[in-house]
């Protein structure tokens, strides 16, 4: 089993601060390039249907500048597929999207829309763009991802991150651990993300099949006080230490 674990930095919240005032700063592309210098292995930008944070011009500017890779997070719509195919990111991550939610709330229900998603993913497979499905840690969803030909999954760690009690958190961690091993045994690449912080990341990073963790909100919050380079280095170091134990 590989000892490597990769950090994807989500810069959406830099754009959230900018959009709150409708000005041209702070710039998520600048944040992405600084995060790469600090050791990020990839950058996530989520272009939402309502454009509440990342704007089209942000992804258009970052994509050709990327030194690592762009993980383009999106809803599985025709509009977004067209944009993704014009950007040709290394990865796309398909997520459910509701206008009224504060952030991505649950995993994508792949099992319930296999026929549509199979065709959708096939377009990316043919174009050489790797598709990751953001799903809850659930065997039925994993089986559905295999059935539709998706090569990568991202396990939703929100329930783990939000658990207030130790026992509940351990139960959520077990679900993620079991799901990661099951998906890996079926040949899927396994990533995870949502709600991860410098304080709760170690247990997820320690799960052997875990390939990449995508972290945004807490990292950008830490960057307010530490600077983005220190925040990236700190969480990546915690991930690497957890993996090497
Ligand atoms: N992965 C996916 C698919 C997400 O939707 C998000 C939230 O935008 C993240 C990772 C990062 O979550 P957080 O901002 O809580 O670190």
pLDDT, tens digit, for every residue of 123-134? 999 999 999 999
Q: What is the domain range of residue 32?
A: 6-244
Q: Which of 46, 89, 157, 214 to mutate to test the pocket of ligand 1 (most atoms within 8 A of CB)?
A: 214
CA distances for 141 relative to 147, 149, 166, 182, 199, angstroms: 10, 13, 26, 11, 28
Residue 48 lies in a domain: yes
Give CA–CA dist 17/163, Å, rounded.
27
Residue 77 lies in a domain: yes
Residue 1 lies in a domain: no
pLDDT, tens digit, for every residue of 157-194? 999 999 999 999 999 999 999 999 999 999 999 999 99
- Residues with beta carbon inside 6 Å of ligand 1? 10, 12, 46, 73, 93, 95, 103-104, 134, 154, 193-196, 214-218
Q: Is 36 assigned a catalytic role?
A: no
CATH number for 104: 3.20.20.70
CA distances for 17 relative to 41, 76, 100, 225, angstroms: 24, 26, 19, 15
65-93 burial by CB neighbour count: b if 16+ within 10 A, else e?
ebebbbbbbbbbeeebbebbeebebebbb
Q: What is the mean pLDDT of the chain?
A: 96
Specify the pLDDT at position 106: 86
What's the pTM? 0.96
Whose C-alpha lies nearest to ligand 1, atom 3? 134
Q: What is the pLDDT along the chain (245 residues), one digit of tens a residue?
A: 567 999 999 999 999 999 999 999 999 999 999 999 999 999 999 999 999 999 999 999 999 999 999 999 999 999 999 999 999 999 999 999 876 666 667 899 999 999 999 999 999 999 999 999 999 999 999 999 999 999 999 999 999 999 999 999 999 999 999 999 999 999 999 999 999 999 999 999 999 999 999 999 999 999 999 999 999 999 999 999 999 98
**For the chain, how many structural domains are there in total?**
1
Residue 161 lies in a domain: yes
Residue 10 Cα, ligand 1 centroid: separation in angstroms?
7
Sign of the CA dihedral running 64, 65, 70, 74: negative
Residue 60 lies in a domain: yes
Q: Is 49 assigned a catalytic role?
A: no
Residue 62 lies in a domain: yes
Q: Which of 103, 198, 212, 223 to mutate to test the pocket of ligand 1 (most atoms within 8 A of CB)?
A: 103
Residue 104 lies in a domain: yes
Q: Is 73 assigned a catalytic role?
A: yes
Does residue 26 have a cis bond before it (omega within 30 degrees)? yes
């Amino acid at each position: 089993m590989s000892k490597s674990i990769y950090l994807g930095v989500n810069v959406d919240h830099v754009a959230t601060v900018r959009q709150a005032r409708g000005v041209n700063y702070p710039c998520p592309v600048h944040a992405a390039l600084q995060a790469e210098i600090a050791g990020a292995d990839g950058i996530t930008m989520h272009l939402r249907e309502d454009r509440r944070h990342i704007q089209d011009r942000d992804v258009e500017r970052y994509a050709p500048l990327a030194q690592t890779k762009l993980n383009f997070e999106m809803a599985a719509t025709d509009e977004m597929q067209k944009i993704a195919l014009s950007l040709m990111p290394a990865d796309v991550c398909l997520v459910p999207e509701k206008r009224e939610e504060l952030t991505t709330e649950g995993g994508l229900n792949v099992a319930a829309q296999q026929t549509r998603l199979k065709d959708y993913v096939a377009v990316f497979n043919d174009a050489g763009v790797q598709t990751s499905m953001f799903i809850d840690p659930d065997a039925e969803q994993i089986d559905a991802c295999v059935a539709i030909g998706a090569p990568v999954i991202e396990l939703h760690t929100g329930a783990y991150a939000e658990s207030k009690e130790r026992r509940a958190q351990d139960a959520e961690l077990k679900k993620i651990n079991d799901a990661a091993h099951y998906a890996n045994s079926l040949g899927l690449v396994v990533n995870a993300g949502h709600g991860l912080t410098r304080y709760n990341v170690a247990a997820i990073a320690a799960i052997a099949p875990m390939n990449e963790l995508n972290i945004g909100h807490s990292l950008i919050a830490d960057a307010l006080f530490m600077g983005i380079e220190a925040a990236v280095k700190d969480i990546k170091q915690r991930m690497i230490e957890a993996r090497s134990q």
